[in-house]
Chain A
């Protein structure tokens, strides 16, 4: 099945810093989503981005489908950005496969 790798596994930032999270996948996909898991466990949708670039406030994402990777950019990070960020992909009508996540800690 499709493999999804995320890097880095852990990231510690000072408030105000910028960061880039990466997601590599092993096959072509028709669905790629980025999620932020809050402390209570809920997966919050950040982007649905099987290809191209999108922006939402301080967050933006780019997926280069032909090269099988996606990037999530967080600018001017805030303590509320802390948590785990997941990339998830789907190919065809198959299941959504999650990466192992990037754990982000933003300190004041």
Chain B
């Protein structure tokens, strides 16, 4: 079956712009979580959604937001981009919140100039 799909895979933005990233989970998976990976901070949790509700949130500013749709697909948005937002953004899906194995997509690599 198809894995976790993230789009776009690569994108370049300038400071001050906003960006929206998309994640389609594995069929039947209802929980989606997002992670940011940077060389300096490693892999950091952003948020987790289940049944269109945010269940957990990491320590990121309010510029980072997300949502989940009724078909379990999720989007995350970063507004007023800063240079430090340049990172690999990874999405993971699992059957339910807080339980079971997580499967990751290939990631969206964002560069902010």
A: residues with CB less than 8 A from B are: 30-31, 33, 35, 40-43, 45, 48, 86, 88, 90, 92-98, 100-101
Contacts and interface: CB of A to CB of B under 8 A. Distances in A.
B56 A94 contact: yes
Q: How large is the interface on B (under 10, 10 to 19, 20 to 34, 35 or more residues)?
A: 20 to 34
A96 B104 contact: no
A64 B83 CA distance: 41
Interface stretch (B13-21, B41-49, B61-69, B71-79): B41-49
A63 B106 CA distance: 27
A96 B92 contact: yes
B88 interface: yes
A42 B43 CA distance: 12
Contact of B56 (A33, A48, A88, A95): A95
B102 A96 contact: yes
Contacts of A101: 42
Interface string B18-32: 000000000000000
Contact of A41 (B37, B92, B97, B102): B37
Contacts of A90: 98
